[in-house]
Amino acid sequence: QKVFFNIDKLNDLTNNILRISKIENQTYLDPPVSFRLDEQIREAIVILEAKWSRKNIELDIDLPEAEYFGQKSLLFQVWVNLISNAIKFSNDGGCVSIHLKKDGSSYKVFISDDGIGMTQETMKHIFEKFYQGDTSRQAQGNGLGLALCKEILNRCGGKIFVTSKPGKGSVFMVQL
Identify which of 14, 44, 23 has the alpha carbon closest to the alpha carbon of residue 109. 44
Position 27 scores a pLDDT of: 57
The answer to whether 131 and 149 are in contact (CB under 8 A) is no
* Tens of pLDDT, residues 47-60: 999 999 999 999 99
Distance between CA atoms of residues 35 and 139, nearest Å: 35
Model confidence at 101, in pLDDT bands (50, 70, 90)?
Answer: very high
Q: Give the mean model confidence (pLDDT) for residues 26-45.
A: 88
Distance between CA atoms of residues 99 and 110, nearest Å: 5
- Sequential DSSP letters for 84-140: HHHHHTSPTT-EEEEEEEEETTEEEEEEEESSS---HHHHHHTTSTT--S-GGGGGG
Residue 107 or 29, more confident:
107
* Tens of pLDDT, residues 114-147: 999 988 888 787 877 666 665 544 445 556 778 8
CB atoms within 10 A of CB 88: 17
Position 139 scores a pLDDT of: 41
Distance between CA atoms of residues 109 and 45, nearest Å: 14
Lowest mean pLDDT among 20-24, 40-44, 70-74, 100-104: 20-24
